[in-house]
Structure 1
Amino acid sequence: MGLLGDELAFAQALTAQEREGVMALGHRKRYPADAHLLTEGDRSSHVLIVLQGWVTVSVATDRGATRLILGLRGPGELLGEMAALDRHPRSATVRALGPTEAQVINGDAFRRFLALHPRVSGLVIRQLTFRLRSADQERSALASLTVLQRLAHRLIELSRPDTSGPYSAPSTSPRTPTAPSAAGSVVQLAQDELAATVGATREAVAKALRLLRTQNIVRTGNRMVEILDPALLSLLADGHQE
């Protein structure tokens, strides 16, 4: 698993009755692009369920202003549950990639709901476990894969239609690629954001993207990378050299 994973989002795993009960605990709130939904170090304990839009989850690094993006979260995802459960300061910052809407639920009310609904409590524990395993895999990738491999993996992952990630619909193409993404898929992230998702510098990612462009594997623009040859990108992700 990587940035998105294959698990159902929290709200999607609830029954209709459970979902209605959880949503009734809170209220809807809209956030503009770049707004902080949650802030690392803050002592608030409410939770959020993303209703519309996509957000990044990031932490500060030893390099000061540099942030490492741990994940992208979208509709149905539960956020802020750790602080709600253990009442410690927030462990990460959640930032809106674009206009975002979320259900805001008081931490005390959420904990009471979990105490009365063991199955939902189990879903929260399962989500925490899944994210912990994903973080372990991310650390392993940082140690064992090149920047080009990590970037290729990330682009494939973010452009897969079945993960409902922040990408635009594939354009019509006569190709039938064997890779999980489709030719024409567009990943809508800036280079510095892509760099943060793979634990590399912006310069290293820019160099890797130049290589991919010269081989006509991707096309880049303002805050976007278009996948032109997903099959070849998949080969590079697996360690095959051009």
Structure 2
Amino acid sequence: MSVHEALPSSALLDAELWDALCGLGHQADFASGETLLFEGSASESMLVLEAGLAAVSVADPAGDEVFLAFRGPGSLLGEFGYLDRRPRSAMVRAVAATRCRVLPRPVLDRFLAADPRAGQALSAAVVAKMRAVTDRRVRYAQGRIGTRIGRVLLDHADEFGTPGQGDDVVIEVPLSQGRIADLVGAGTRIVGLELARLQEAGLVDTGYRSRPRRLRVLDPVALAVRVDGAA
């Protein structure tokens, strides 16, 4: 079963709330490349990602798109806008065939009003997500560039990885050099050079010859030791 079909261990929704939310609203399917949520649009609903994969991004002052994160099955989308009623703070676009449960505000309002425990669980999921996002932003901004890239690879291998051959882990999401560059605040050329160094050290395979192209962490333990030692 692929990462696009099953709830990952990192999903922040407990099983009871997941089942309840998936019984509300209506289903919506998105092809790869389609936009689920538009930055700046009205927050009229919340989405639960049931299957597939989506990428979250924001526009910088120059209007360029900056990648923030991937979201897999079990993820909440648009929950911040639902809670504070402000316009969407980011764009969410499908990067694979994706299925969501769309929960219009009136439907979700009635559900949460009827069950205070569900509201508490939803709030806890949102807080946990914000803590995780904040932690990653801090770690991706500290240390040498090679260390920061190593953290990105290890995090994505942990969240979106599947076992490969031997000890290696295949990162089953399109974690391109450009997306890594956005996460660590560096140029794509620098990221490419650092990935080449990690490949020469036998720690990663950039997947140049694979189709679809996927990064592989060849030795997660050794990469973690290298990252911790550099930090």
TM-score, length-normalised on structure 2?
Answer: 0.84
Task: Write the mapping of 1:184-203 to structure 2, written as runs, cut at 5 A.
Answer: 184-189=169-174, 190-203=176-189
Equivalent pairs, count: 219
Do residues 206 (structure 1) and 192 (structure 2) align?
yes
Structure 2 unaligned segments of length 5 or more: list them.
1-7
| Alignment partners' CA distance in 1, 2:153 and 2:205 | 12
- Greater mean deviation of Cα atoms: 102-111 or 221-230: 221-230
Cα deviation digits, residues 135-178 of structure 1 (max 9, x gap) = 33233224422221121112112112xx4x2x4x32332xxxxx
Instruction: Give the match for residue 12 of structure 2.
Output: 9
Measured after TM superposition, the shift of residue 199 of structure 1 is 3.2
Instruction: Give the match for residue 163 of structure 2.
Output: 170
Structure 1 unaligned segments of length 5 or more: list them.
174-181
User: Which residue, out of 155, 158, 174, partners 1:157?
Assistant: 155
Change (3 A) 1:76 1:139: closer
Is this contact kept in 1: 2:37–2:88, CA < 8 A?
yes
Measured after TM superposition, the shift of residue 202 of structure 1 is 1.6
Counterpart amino acid of residue 102 in structure 2: V
Is this contact kept in 2: 1:84–1:108, CA < 8 A?
no
User: Which residue, out of 189, 202, 225, partners 1:235?
Assistant: 225
- Greater mean deviation of Cα atoms: 231-240 or 84-93: 231-240
Change (3 A) 1:194 1:63: same
Is this contact kept in 2: 1:32–1:100, CA < 8 A?
yes
Measured after TM superposition, the shift of residue 63 of structure 1 is 4.6
Task: Write the mapping of 1:35-184 to structure 2, written as runs, cut at 5 A.
Answer: 35-69=34-68, 71-160=69-158, 163=159, 165=160, 167=161, 169-173=162-166, 182-184=167-169
User: Which secondary structure state, in structure 1, belongs to the residue aligned with residue 63 of structure 2?
Assistant: coil
Instruction: Give the match for residue 26 of structure 2.
Output: 27
Measured after TM superposition, the shift of residue 8 of structure 1 is 4.0
Change (3 A) 1:184 1:89: closer
Change (3 A) 1:205 1:240: same
User: Which secondary structure state, in structure 1, belongs to the residue aligned with residue 197 of structure 2?
Assistant: helix
Measured after TM superposition, the shift of residue 21 of structure 1 is 4.0
Is this contact kept in 2: 1:184–1:227, CA < 8 A?
yes
User: Which secondary structure state, in structure 1, belongs to the residue aligned with residue 215 of structure 2?
Assistant: strand
User: Which secondary structure state, in structure 2, belongs to the residue aligned with residue 157 of structure 1?
Assistant: helix
Cα deviation digits, residues 177-223 of structure 1 (max 9, x gap) = xxxxx414334322212222333322221121011112121111354
User: Which secondary structure state, in structure 1, belongs to the residue aligned with residue 70 of structure 2?
Assistant: strand
Change (3 A) 1:119 1:199: farther
Is this contact kept in 1: 2:41–2:88, CA < 8 A?
yes
Is this contact kept in 1: 2:142–2:148, CA < 8 A?
no
Is this contact kept in 2: 1:188–1:224, CA < 8 A?
yes
Counterpart amino acid of residue 21 in structure 2: V
Instruction: Give the match for residue 5 of structure 2.
Output: none
| Alignment partners' CA distance in 1, 2:19 and 2:141 | 43
TM-score, length-normalised on structure 1?
Answer: 0.80
Instruction: Give the match for residue 4 of structure 2.
Output: none
Change (3 A) 1:64 1:6: same
Counterpart amino acid of residue 61 in structure 2: D
Measured after TM superposition, the shift of residue 31 of structure 1 is 0.8
User: Which secondary structure state, in structure 2, belongs to the residue aligned with residue 47 of structure 1?
Assistant: strand
Counterpart amino acid of residue 209 in structure 1: L
Provide the aligned C-alpha RMSD in A.
2.3
| Alignment partners' CA distance in 1, 2:133 and 2:144 | 18
Change (3 A) 1:117 1:172: same
